[in-house]
């Protein structure tokens, strides 16, 4: 592979998109059942999105994402992939 960091970032972004798509599907199935579990999942989803955004903003403010564009992009992708992967595992275990 080329030494261009943007190529690897492109692949990582594509992987994040694929994982996020599976989480969307799993969450949709869970929410389609309605009831308390669906309400809890919706509330959790909103809370997680807010917390992830705040955590990333905090990292950016203290220089925790690095100082080069590829470095910042890579750490941002890693930040969100970690959370998306955890949701995919959790939702897959619960049988959606």
The predicted structure's pLDDT at residue 78: 95
Average pLDDT over residues 8-16: 95
Instruction: Find out whether 68 and 37 touch, Cβ atoms under 8 Å.
Output: no
- pLDDT tens-digit readout, 55-78: 999 999 999 999 999 999 999 999
How many Å apart are CA 6 and CA 75, to the nearest integer?
13
DSSP annotation string for 30-87: HHHT-HHHHHHHHHHHHHHHHHHHHHHHHHHHTTTT-SSHHHHHHHHHHHHHHHHHHH
Average pLDDT over residues 34-44: 93
| Structure token digits, residue 75 | 């750490």
CA-CA-CA-CA torsion sign (24, 50, 34, 36): positive
Maximum C-alpha span of the chain = 51
pTM of the full predicted structure? 0.82
Q: For residue 94, give the DSSP letter.
A: T
């Amino acid at each position: 592979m080329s030494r261009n960091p943007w190529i690897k970032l492109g692949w990582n972004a594509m992987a994040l998109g694929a994982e996020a798509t599976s989480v969307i599907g799993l969450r949709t199935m869970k929410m389609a059942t309605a009831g308390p579990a669906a309400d809890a999942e919706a509330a959790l989803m909103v809370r997680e999105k807010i917390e992830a955004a705040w955590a990333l903003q905090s990292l950016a403010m203290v220089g925790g994402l690095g100082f080069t564009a590829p470095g910042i992009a890579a750490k941002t992708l890693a930040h969100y992939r970690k959370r998306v992967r955890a949701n995919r595992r959790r939702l897959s275990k619960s049988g959606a």
